[in-house]
Chains A and B, each alone.
Chain A
Amino acid sequence: MTDAPPIRVVLADDAVLLREALAASLAASGFEVVGQASDAQALDELVERSTPDVVVVDVRMPPTHTTEGLEAAQRLRRAHPGLAILVLSQYVETRYAVDLVRNDARGLGYLLKDRVARMADLADAVRRVAGGGSVIDPEVVALLMGRPRRHSPLDELTRREREILGLMAEGRSNQGVATELGLELKTVEGHVGQIFSKLGLEADQVGHRRVQAVLAWLREGVEG
């Protein structure tokens, strides 16, 4: 891409076909795939050995094919605090996404697998986590925002404000939101202030802290 050294990526997925496709896609987007693993243990060893910038890990791996990828992410995060991790998941479950970033959202992402069908989306997500940002799949955010509620402060938000809240929950920065919606940064900042005051959230949170606060509010703040 540019003169900067390429981002070094390790892949973990037990499905060879998909892993190869992912590797091809990432390489085509300018990443350096430094290693591939087919289970959690091999992943741990690979990370130890090749010190990548980002790990892209499938949520389902042997032996139970349920949520090994999430556990691997938490474990790797403890062992390598600076390592960025993107979990590719088949599950549209808000619990998994919110739990992943609950304690520390920096450089963590939860992306649905069908999202990676577009090279650009995958590359964008990998770059964002590599840069210390957070990524939450829009479909998961839509589920969080869309849960029917009897009485909700969300009802008091304007359409635009709801849109911005969703993008914040996906892990976008104010600049990211502005770019996405084609708005001035100042305008976005004004909306964010409004949203925070309507929802009763602390106003000056930024970056990953803001993602955590918004997600926690969406998932646990107001009951159905």
Chain B
Amino acid sequence: MIHATDVFKVFQQHRGDAIVLWVGSSGRKWQEFSTNEKRDLNIRGAMGHTSSAALGIALSLPNEKIVIFDAEGALLMNLGILATIADKQPRNFYHFLLDNECYATTGGQPVPNAKNINYAGMARAAGYAAAYQFDDLESLTRQMGEILSQKGPVFVAIKVVPLIENEPMARRKRPPTRSRAETIQALQEELGLA
């Protein structure tokens, strides 16, 4: 398993101008590493649908690279999105899955069949152009550049260390973040769409 923070350190070196979305307790860490927040979208998607929104963004902005850091709990709620994405074959779509094998936000309960699912295999079978899986940082570091330079849709499943939260919601400390509307507005201004 890899620490999500290490995934983001590696990705940041290859990000370029990519528009980045994230979900989940691991994905939230991206905000500590991003150096271009105008191209970060905090969608707060409903029950697994950040990937669906990311597809819409990819189709509406075909000249922009779209990267989503999805979570396996979210993907399981919206598994059909793999087929929907594969059907449209967005060449600018990079679907990372941070798989911590559990619902970390609710205390770490395991997702169904947590240790035996082959998410990359599912994406490949659904029709993604390429699919990878990693559970060691060295291999991920070695291949990140190649992954982001090929045509999408690309799927990258990464086993990550869970960041389990057990504090009641009201007591959890969250760094101040921009609202969804603020991140969308900033992106649209950055792209000249506002």
- On whether the two chains bind one another, the answer is no
**Contacts from B to A (Cβ < 8 Å):** none
Residues of A whose CB lies within 8 Å of any CB of B are: none
